[in-house]
Protein backbone atom coordinates (compact mmCIF):
# COMPACT_ATOMS: atom_id res chain seq x y z
CA UNK A 1 0.00 0.00 0.00
CA UNK A 2 1.57 3.32 -0.98
CA UNK A 3 2.29 5.69 1.88
CA UNK A 4 2.73 2.93 4.41
CA UNK A 5 6.06 2.86 6.19
CA UNK A 6 7.71 -0.52 6.51
CA UNK A 7 9.83 -1.66 9.45
CA UNK A 8 13.07 0.29 9.93
CA UNK A 9 12.09 2.82 7.33
CA UNK A 10 11.76 6.53 8.01
CA UNK A 11 8.29 7.60 9.08
CA UNK A 12 9.28 11.27 8.95
CA UNK A 13 11.82 12.67 6.51
CA UNK A 14 12.70 16.34 6.63
CA UNK A 15 15.03 17.84 4.08
CA UNK A 16 16.46 21.36 3.72
CA UNK A 17 13.69 22.81 5.86
CA UNK A 18 13.58 26.59 6.13
CA UNK A 19 11.20 28.61 8.27
CA UNK A 20 11.11 32.35 8.78
CA UNK A 21 8.86 34.68 10.67
CA UNK A 22 9.47 37.96 8.88
CA UNK A 23 13.20 38.55 9.09
CA UNK A 24 13.60 36.05 11.89
CA UNK A 25 15.08 32.78 10.64
CA UNK A 26 13.97 29.80 12.73
CA UNK A 27 15.02 26.84 10.56
CA UNK A 28 17.85 27.24 8.05
CA UNK A 29 18.19 24.08 6.00
CA UNK A 30 17.31 21.55 8.66
CA UNK A 31 17.50 17.81 7.89
CA UNK A 32 15.99 15.11 10.07
CA UNK A 33 14.72 11.54 9.92
CA UNK A 34 12.48 9.74 12.41
CA UNK A 35 12.50 5.96 12.18
CA UNK A 36 9.66 3.51 12.53
CA UNK A 37 9.00 2.48 16.12
CA UNK A 38 11.40 4.80 17.92
CA UNK A 39 10.88 7.36 20.65
CA UNK A 40 12.36 10.46 19.14
CA UNK A 41 12.89 13.66 21.09
CA UNK A 42 13.57 17.21 19.95
CA UNK A 43 15.49 19.43 22.35
CA UNK A 44 17.24 22.79 22.21
CA UNK A 45 17.15 26.22 23.80
CA UNK A 46 14.05 28.35 24.07
CA UNK A 47 13.20 29.79 20.66
CA UNK A 48 15.31 27.22 18.77
CA UNK A 49 12.25 26.19 16.74
CA UNK A 50 11.16 22.95 18.43
CA UNK A 51 7.45 23.72 18.64
CA UNK A 52 7.40 25.21 15.18
CA UNK A 53 9.04 22.04 13.83
CA UNK A 54 6.38 19.92 15.52
CA UNK A 55 3.62 22.15 14.14
CA UNK A 56 5.09 21.76 10.66
CA UNK A 57 5.10 17.97 10.98
CA UNK A 58 1.38 17.97 11.79
CA UNK A 59 0.25 20.39 9.11
CA UNK A 60 -0.35 23.31 11.46
CA UNK A 61 2.36 25.48 9.98
CA UNK A 62 3.74 25.70 6.50
CA UNK A 63 7.51 25.95 6.09
CA UNK A 64 9.00 28.49 3.71
CA UNK A 65 11.13 25.93 1.89
CA UNK A 66 12.29 22.34 2.03
CA UNK A 67 10.32 19.15 2.24
CA UNK A 68 8.61 17.15 4.95
CA UNK A 69 7.36 13.63 4.32
CA UNK A 70 5.25 11.99 7.00
CA UNK A 71 4.27 8.31 6.68
CA UNK A 72 5.47 8.49 3.11
CA UNK A 73 3.32 11.49 2.18
CA UNK A 74 4.87 14.77 1.03
CA UNK A 75 3.22 17.60 2.97
CA UNK A 76 3.89 20.18 0.28
CA UNK A 77 0.81 20.92 -1.76
CA UNK A 78 -1.15 18.19 -0.03
CA UNK A 79 -4.87 18.45 -0.81
CA UNK A 80 -7.62 18.43 1.83
CA UNK A 81 -8.68 14.79 1.50
CA UNK A 82 -5.07 13.61 1.71
CA UNK A 83 -4.45 15.89 4.71
CA UNK A 84 -7.47 14.48 6.50
CA UNK A 85 -6.42 10.90 5.73
CA UNK A 86 -3.00 11.66 7.18
CA UNK A 87 -4.38 13.38 10.30
CA UNK A 88 -6.30 10.22 11.09
CA UNK A 89 -3.01 8.29 11.19
CA UNK A 90 -1.41 10.40 13.91
CA UNK A 91 -2.36 11.52 17.39
CA UNK A 92 -1.27 14.74 19.05
CA UNK A 93 -1.08 15.64 22.70
CA UNK A 94 -0.79 19.39 22.97
CA UNK A 95 1.07 21.01 25.83
CA UNK A 96 -2.04 22.43 27.42
CA UNK A 97 -4.22 19.43 26.72
CA UNK A 98 -6.43 20.97 24.07
CA UNK A 99 -9.55 19.35 25.49
CA UNK A 100 -12.91 21.00 24.86
CA UNK A 101 -14.10 22.54 28.13
CA UNK A 102 -17.78 22.09 27.30
CA UNK A 103 -17.45 18.33 26.80
CA UNK A 104 -16.91 15.66 29.43
CA UNK A 105 -13.67 13.68 29.37
CA UNK A 106 -15.51 10.74 27.82
CA UNK A 107 -17.04 12.96 25.14
CA UNK A 108 -13.65 14.50 24.43
CA UNK A 109 -11.98 11.12 24.06
CA UNK A 110 -14.82 9.79 21.88
CA UNK A 111 -14.97 12.86 19.65
CA UNK A 112 -12.52 11.69 16.95
CA UNK A 113 -14.45 8.41 16.72
CA UNK A 114 -17.76 10.23 16.32
CA UNK A 115 -16.31 12.45 13.63
CA UNK A 116 -14.37 9.87 11.65
CA UNK A 117 -15.75 6.41 12.28
CA UNK A 118 -19.21 5.10 11.60
CA UNK A 119 -19.94 3.73 15.04
CA UNK A 120 -22.97 3.84 17.29
CA UNK A 121 -22.85 5.58 20.67
CA UNK A 122 -22.29 2.37 22.60
CA UNK A 123 -19.31 1.41 20.45
CA UNK A 124 -17.82 4.92 20.77
CA UNK A 125 -18.21 4.83 24.55
CA UNK A 126 -16.69 1.36 24.78
CA UNK A 127 -13.61 2.38 22.77
CA UNK A 128 -13.26 5.65 24.68
CA UNK A 129 -13.51 3.77 28.00
CA UNK A 130 -10.80 1.39 26.81
CA UNK A 131 -8.42 4.29 26.12
CA UNK A 132 -9.23 5.89 29.47
CA UNK A 133 -8.30 2.63 31.15
CA UNK A 134 -5.12 2.38 29.08
CA UNK A 135 -4.04 5.80 30.33
CA UNK A 136 -4.88 4.84 33.90
CA UNK A 137 -8.00 6.95 34.42
CA UNK A 138 -10.91 5.61 36.45
CA UNK A 139 -14.22 5.30 34.56
CA UNK A 140 -15.77 8.01 36.82
CA UNK A 141 -13.28 10.51 35.43
CA UNK A 142 -15.02 10.10 32.08
CA UNK A 143 -18.04 11.94 33.49
CA UNK A 144 -15.98 14.92 34.62
CA UNK A 145 -15.23 18.13 32.75
CA UNK A 146 -11.64 19.20 31.94
CA UNK A 147 -11.79 22.06 34.47
CA UNK A 148 -12.29 19.49 37.24
CA UNK A 149 -9.10 17.57 36.43
CA UNK A 150 -5.63 17.83 37.94
CA UNK A 151 -2.73 18.53 35.59
CA UNK A 152 -1.74 14.87 35.49
CA UNK A 153 -5.29 13.69 34.78
CA UNK A 154 -5.61 16.30 32.04
CA UNK A 155 -2.47 14.96 30.34
CA UNK A 156 -3.83 11.41 30.57
CA UNK A 157 -7.21 12.38 29.16
CA UNK A 158 -5.56 14.24 26.34
CA UNK A 159 -3.33 11.24 25.68
CA UNK A 160 -6.39 8.96 25.65
CA UNK A 161 -7.95 11.20 23.00
CA UNK A 162 -4.72 11.24 20.97
CA UNK A 163 -4.74 7.43 20.97
CA UNK A 164 -8.40 6.80 20.29
CA UNK A 165 -8.00 6.26 16.55
CA UNK A 166 -5.05 3.89 17.16
CA UNK A 167 -2.53 6.12 15.41
CA UNK A 168 0.74 5.00 13.86
CA UNK A 169 2.47 8.15 15.05
CA UNK A 170 2.10 10.03 18.31
CA UNK A 171 3.26 13.62 18.83
CA UNK A 172 3.78 14.86 22.37
CA UNK A 173 4.46 18.52 23.13
CA UNK A 174 6.05 18.81 26.58
CA UNK A 175 4.16 15.81 28.01
CA UNK A 176 5.39 16.37 31.57
CA UNK A 177 5.64 20.17 31.69
CA UNK A 178 3.88 21.70 34.66
CA UNK A 179 3.35 18.39 36.44
CA UNK A 180 4.50 17.53 39.94
CA UNK A 181 7.28 14.91 40.04
CA UNK A 182 4.91 12.06 40.85
CA UNK A 183 2.50 12.83 38.00
CA UNK A 184 5.44 13.37 35.65
CA UNK A 185 6.76 9.94 36.64
CA UNK A 186 3.38 8.44 35.83
CA UNK A 187 3.45 10.02 32.37
CA UNK A 188 6.91 8.47 31.89
CA UNK A 189 5.49 5.07 32.73
CA UNK A 190 2.64 5.59 30.30
CA UNK A 191 4.96 6.50 27.45
CA UNK A 192 7.05 3.45 28.32
CA UNK A 193 3.92 1.27 28.23
CA UNK A 194 2.95 2.61 24.81
CA UNK A 195 6.45 1.96 23.54
CA UNK A 196 6.45 -1.57 24.90
CA UNK A 197 3.13 -2.36 23.20
CA UNK A 198 5.05 -1.86 19.97
CA UNK A 199 4.21 -0.43 16.60
CA UNK A 200 3.86 3.20 17.63
CA UNK A 201 6.42 5.85 16.70
CA UNK A 202 6.60 8.69 19.22
CA UNK A 203 7.94 12.18 18.56
CA UNK A 204 8.18 14.48 21.54
CA UNK A 205 9.39 17.94 22.41
CA UNK A 206 10.55 17.96 26.00
CA UNK A 207 12.88 19.54 28.53
CA UNK A 208 12.38 16.63 30.88
CA UNK A 209 15.77 15.03 31.47
CA UNK A 210 14.27 11.90 33.00
CA UNK A 211 12.11 11.29 29.96
CA UNK A 212 15.08 11.97 27.71
CA UNK A 213 17.55 9.74 29.52
CA UNK A 214 15.16 6.93 30.30
CA UNK A 215 12.93 6.73 27.24
CA UNK A 216 14.24 8.57 24.18
CA UNK A 217 15.92 6.28 21.66
CA UNK A 218 17.29 9.23 19.73
CA UNK A 219 17.40 12.93 20.41
CA UNK A 220 17.87 15.82 17.98
CA UNK A 221 19.41 18.98 19.40
CA UNK A 222 18.31 22.10 17.53
CA UNK A 223 20.59 25.12 17.39
CA UNK A 224 21.12 27.89 14.82
CA UNK A 225 18.30 26.64 12.66
CA UNK A 226 19.76 23.19 12.19
CA UNK A 227 20.20 19.87 13.93
CA UNK A 228 23.42 20.51 15.84
CA UNK A 229 23.62 16.90 16.99
CA UNK A 230 21.58 13.73 16.89
CA UNK A 231 21.90 10.42 18.71
CA UNK A 232 21.19 8.80 22.05
CA UNK A 233 21.53 11.06 25.11
CA UNK A 234 24.76 9.24 25.96
CA UNK A 235 26.09 9.99 22.47
CA UNK A 236 25.02 13.64 22.60
CA UNK A 237 26.69 14.01 25.99
CA UNK A 238 30.04 13.23 24.33
CA UNK A 239 29.66 15.68 21.45
CA UNK A 240 31.89 18.74 21.11
CA UNK A 241 29.27 21.11 19.70
CA UNK A 242 29.33 24.19 22.02
CA UNK A 243 25.54 24.49 22.40
CA UNK A 244 25.27 20.80 23.24
CA UNK A 245 28.17 20.94 25.69
CA UNK A 246 26.48 23.84 27.45
CA UNK A 247 23.29 21.80 27.78
CA UNK A 248 25.03 18.76 29.23
CA UNK A 249 27.72 20.45 31.25
CA UNK A 250 25.65 23.21 32.79
CA UNK A 251 24.84 22.48 36.45
CA UNK A 252 21.42 20.94 35.85
CA UNK A 253 22.47 18.79 32.92
CA UNK A 254 25.44 17.50 34.89
CA UNK A 255 23.34 16.65 37.92
CA UNK A 256 20.91 14.66 35.77
CA UNK A 257 23.72 12.85 34.03
CA UNK A 258 25.34 11.88 37.32
CA UNK A 259 22.03 10.70 38.66
CA UNK A 260 21.55 8.69 35.49
CA UNK A 261 24.94 7.07 35.78
CA UNK A 262 24.32 6.06 39.39
CA UNK A 263 20.70 5.08 38.74
CA UNK A 264 19.52 2.04 40.63
CA UNK A 265 16.06 0.51 40.28
CA UNK A 266 15.02 2.29 43.48
CA UNK A 267 16.09 5.66 42.21
CA UNK A 268 14.17 5.31 38.99
CA UNK A 269 11.31 7.40 40.25
CA UNK A 270 13.50 10.19 41.58
CA UNK A 271 13.27 13.05 39.19
CA UNK A 272 15.97 15.56 38.48
CA UNK A 273 15.05 19.24 38.53
CA UNK A 274 13.47 20.28 35.27
CA UNK A 275 15.97 21.75 32.87
CA UNK A 276 14.94 25.16 31.66
CA UNK A 277 16.63 26.56 28.59
CA UNK A 278 18.11 30.03 28.86
Positions in the binding site for ligand ADP (CB under 6 A)? 21, 24, 26, 44, 46-52
Whether the CB-CB separation of 27 and 52 falls below 8 Å is answered with yes
Quick count: other Cβ atoms within 10 Å of Cβ 260?
18
Of ligand ADP, Mg ion, none, which one sits near residue 185, judging by CB under 5 to 8 A according to partner kind? none
| Ranges within 40-79 binding Mg ion (CB under 5 A) | 51
- Residue 224's DSSP bridge partners are none
Give the residue with the Cβ less far from ligand ADP, 24 or 276.
24
Question: How many helices (H) and strands (E) would you count in the chain?
Answer: 10, 10
By a kind-dependent CB cut-off of 5 to 8 A, residue 152 interacts, out of ligand ADP, Mg ion, none, with none
Closer to ligand ADP at the Cβ: 5 or 12? 12
> How would you classify the pairing of strands 90-93 and 10-21?
unpaired
Q: Total residues contacting Mg ion (rule CB under 5 A)? A: 1
**Which is closer to ligand ADP, CB of 135 or CB of 171?**
171
Alpha-carbon distance of 159 to 190, in angstroms, equals 9
DSSP state of 47: T
Q: Cβ closer to ligand ADP: 107 or 173? A: 173
48 binds, among ligand ADP, Mg ion, none (CB under 5 to 8 A by kind): ligand ADP
- The answer to whether 155 touches 137, Cβ cutoff 8 Å, is no
Q: Which does 52 bind (CB under 5 to 8 A by kind): ligand ADP, Mg ion, none?
A: ligand ADP
- Sequence-separated (6 or more) residues with CB below 8 Å from residue 173: 51, 54, 92, 93, 94, 95, 204, 205
Nearer to ligand ADP, 60 or 123 (CB): 60
In terms of Cβ atoms closer than 10 Å to its own Cβ (0-12, 13-18, 19+), residue 264 is exposed
**Contact call for residue 95 and Mg ion (CB under 5 A):** no
Calpha distance 82→181 (Å, rounded): 40
State in angstroms the smallest separation of the CB of 44 from Mg ion: 9
Shortest separation between residue 149's beta carbon and ligand ADP, angstroms: 25
Q: How far is the CB of 21 from ligand ADP (least distance, A)?
A: 3
Amino acid sequence: MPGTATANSAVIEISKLSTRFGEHVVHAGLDLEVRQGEIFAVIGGSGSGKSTLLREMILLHRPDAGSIRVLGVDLRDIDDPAALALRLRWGVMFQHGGLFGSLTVMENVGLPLREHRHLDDAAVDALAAQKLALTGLDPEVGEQYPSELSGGMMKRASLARALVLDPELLFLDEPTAGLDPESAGEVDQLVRKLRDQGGLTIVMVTHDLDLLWQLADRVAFLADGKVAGIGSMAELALMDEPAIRKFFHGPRGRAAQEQQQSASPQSENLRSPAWKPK
